Structure 1
Amino acid sequence: MTRIGIILGSTRPNRNGEQVARWVLDQAQQRDDAEFELIDLRDYPLPHLDEAVTPSRGEYQNEHTKQWAAKIAQFDGYIFVTPEYNHSTSGVLKNAIDYLYAEWNNKAAGFVSYGGVGGARAAEHLRLIAGELQIADVRQQVTFSLMTDFENYQTLQPKPFHEMTMKVLLDQLIAWSGALAPLRPKATLTRA
């Protein structure tokens, strides 16, 4: 069965991202054509990239990198839940992405973003990063506006149309994740 990781890309106190990620997980779990798991970056407290060798070589030395690599390697695709900070994604998400290379390759990704303009600029930056990592990003995107989808900028209250948008994103993501499967190694990637 296709496995999709929902990566919560914020670790801030009082983050809105946890509500968004749980909404994504709730929507996804209504399906029976894939398995979904929430991956909270708080559970993987990676320091600023501290590997001596470029991630593309896969020669991970640090235990925190090996644990992160093992988790990410388990999935066929990802949904990145990202805030928009200063017209881009969060530093913690970018750092977590930068730690790895092969574990991301030949997989698919969708983006769910939130912010002043729905986090659209953060997702656009993630699309550029995905291309370099050989991640195929799907067209559909879910964007939550802090002004219209959150009460008092804090409590997620998504408009009903977001459910249909999320369904399309999941349809595309699961299809692309399956289509890319022949390009991935048969064994789960692990790095020593």
Structure 2
Amino acid sequence: MPNPRIAVIISSTRQVRFADKPTQWLMSQAEGHPDLDFELLDLREQDLPFFDEAASNLWVESQDPRAVAWQQKLAGFDGFLFVVAEYNHSITGALKNALDQAYKEWNRKPMAALAYGSMGGARALEQLRLIAVELQMVPLRNAIHIGAADFFKVSPLGEDAPMSEIEGHLKGSLKATLEELTFWANLLKDAPKG
């Protein structure tokens, strides 16, 4: 049986974003995972309009072909690992819009996160978990947080050091998150969706 497919979704679309640095580290750690296959989905590269449908695609089929293409892309994944930037105690507008563009395609799939910011992206991740519940995803307890001194160590706002400088602080949470993601992705892989 093939491994569950996990989309790693970069939530920030700014040209000067920090997200690329932790995402590259995350992808290097996930490469060759024995139980999960990872694919990067960068919201900056998705042609998504602002949500302007009559209703969620749970109720009404989407009309914009860009939204439909996004839904079809998401449908092929068995779970999601979001790289979450914290903007004003919440998720980015780009991520909220991407979440709103689909409904059925998120259902009964696990969602994990690598969150970052001065407080480890904790407030943004809490917002994302609330949205995930409404979208009938399974938000995981474990997450990878880059915050406080670690964030300023690797961020351009601070020392801009390589991720290897804080890697030892992240390995435990990465291991726990991937173990939990593996469990839920396998458990829910064949669950009916929508």
Which structure is richer in relative contact order (CA contacts within 8 A, separation 6 or more)?
A: 1
The match for 1:165 among 166, 173, 178 is 173
4+ aligned runs moved over 3 Å, structure 1? none
- Counterpart of 2:33 in 1: which secondary structure? coil
Matched, 1:184 2:192: yes
Alignment of 1:105-124 (within 5 A): 105-124=107-126
Distance across 2 between alignment mates of 1:169 and 1:112: 9
The match for 1:38 among 30, 37, 40 is 40
Deviation string 1:77-109 (CA, Å, 9 cap, x unpaired) is 000111000000101001100110000001001
The match for 1:85 among 62, 87, 94 is 87
Gaps (5+ residues) in structure 2?
none
Closer, same or farther: CA 122–182 of 1 in aligned 2, 3 Å: same
Higher strand share: 1
Matched residue, 1:141: 143
Identity %: 38
Distance across 1 between alignment mates of 2:125 and 2:63: 30
Alignment of 1:53-64 (within 5 A): 53-57=55-59, 59-64=61-66
Q: CA deviation at 1:146?
A: 5.9
CA contact (8 A) 2:6 2:78 kept: yes
What is the aligned-residue RMSD (CA, Å)? 1.7
Distance across 2 between alignment mates of 1:40 and 1:177: 21
CA contact (8 A) 1:140 1:169 kept: yes
Closer, same or farther: CA 59–83 of 1 in aligned 2, 3 Å: same
Q: CA deviation at 1:38?
A: 0.5
What amino acid is aligned across from residue 80 of structure 1 in structure 2?
F
Distance across 2 between alignment mates of 1:14 and 1:152: 10
The match for 2:78 among 70, 76, 87 is 76
Matched residue, 1:2: 4
Gaps (5+ residues) in structure 1?
none
What amino acid is aligned across from residue 71 of structure 2 in structure 1?
A
Between the two proteins, the alignment pairs up a number of residues equal to: 186
